[in-house]
Chain A
């Protein structure tokens, strides 16, 4: 590999790595959102439904 080719590989490599890091951060965020949504759904299920008081 010539020195020019090494520099080109480095420049394109940096771009690919940054995009991949961005995807990894997003994946982490998505799993956090999934967990939080699950917690909220559980919280909502534990609450009395609207109209429960009126019924009795």
Chain B
């Protein structure tokens, strides 16, 4: 039994509504942090973006596994799109993180935080994916090499995610502990709203990109057929 995919128009409309709602939650409902003040509002965009980047890389790896398991050509395109979006959200994570670091710690970057360095390693690992992919001729060989590489990278995600907990990183704050989220109910609600909206926005972007790339591939095939 297959589950019908929700329409892209409906998803994009819901994403737009959620983004608007989360902006209200962040700037109107959520109280100002007593310690960091107004600059803590960066948390509501930085953390969901980072989690979305992990999700996109994870999706790219899952589709890569499907490439290897089924040899399906469509999964290669989907895996590539997942990694591509993960890289876009990775850039956003690094930039918003640097802005927040400057506001909170007075520096744009610090090499002494394991969380930051491991995220950078994960990001650079996936940047190299593109170099590898485009250095191989299109075809089954490129699909397999790209899939194996994308699958290897997924191992870095839990390492990066749990780094601050494993290494007792005192610089990068740990908001979610075993005792639950260290914030008020309104703050947590605003965070969840922001996370849902950014994740849905990323999914809409993923669907649009996959559709665009499929049309591109079909047109190429059609051109070849018409020119012979």
Of B98-106, B116-124, B130-138, B155-163, the stretch lying at the interface with chain A is B98-106
Q: Could you say which residues of chain A place their CB within 8 Å of the CB of B219?
A: 33, 36-37, 40
- Whether B42 and A11, one on each chain, are in contact in the complex, defined by CB atoms closer than 8 angstroms, is yes
- Whether B49 and A15, one on each chain, are in contact in the complex, defined by CB atoms closer than 8 angstroms, is yes
Q: Could you say which residues of chain B place their CB within 8 Å of the CB of A36?
A: 219, 223
Q: Could you say which residues of chain A place their CB within 8 Å of the CB of B45?
A: 11-12, 15
* Alpha-carbon separation in the docked complex, A29 to B41 (Å): 35
Residue of A nearest to B96 (CB): A11
- 22 CB < 8 A contacts A-B: A3-B103, A4-B37, A4-B39, A4-B103, A7-B99, A7-B100, A10-B99, A11-B95, A11-B99, A14-B92, A14-B95, A14-B96, A14-B99, A15-B96, A18-B91, A19-B201, A22-B205, A26-B208, A30-B212, A33-B219, A36-B219, A47-B226
What 14 new A-B contacts, CB under 8 Å, besides A8-B42, A12-B45, A26-B209?
A3-B103, A4-B103, A5-B38, A10-B99, A11-B96, A14-B99, A15-B96, A18-B88, A29-B216, A33-B212, A33-B215, A33-B216, A33-B219, A37-B219
- Whether B102 and A7, one on each chain, are in contact in the complex, defined by CB atoms closer than 8 angstroms, is yes
- The proximity string for B residues 193-215 relative to A, scoring 1 for CB distances below 8 Å and 0 otherwise, is 00000000100010011001001
Q: Is the interface of A mostly helix, strand, loop or mixed?
A: helix
Closest-CB distance, A12 to chain B (whole angstroms): 6
Chain A contacts with B in 7-39, Cβ cutoff 8 A? 7-8, 10-12, 14-15, 18-19, 22, 26, 29-30, 33, 36-37
Q: Could you say which residues of chain A place their CB within 8 Å of the CB of B227?
A: 43
Task: Please tell me the number of chain B residues within 8 Å of chain A, measured between CB atoms.
Answer: 30
- Whether B223 and A40, one on each chain, are in contact in the complex, defined by CB atoms closer than 8 angstroms, is yes
Q: Which 6 A-B pairs have CB atoms at the shortest separation, nearest pair first? A: A7-B103, A4-B38, A4-B39, A11-B42, A11-B96, A11-B99
* Alpha-carbon separation in the docked complex, A47 to B128 (Å): 44
Interface residues of A toward B: which range? 20 to 34
Closest-CB distance, B90 to chain A (whole angstroms): 11
Q: Could you say which residues of chain B place their CB within 8 Å of the CB of A4?
A: 36-39, 103
* Alpha-carbon separation in the docked complex, A36 to B208 (Å): 19
Residue of A nearest to B215 (CB): A33
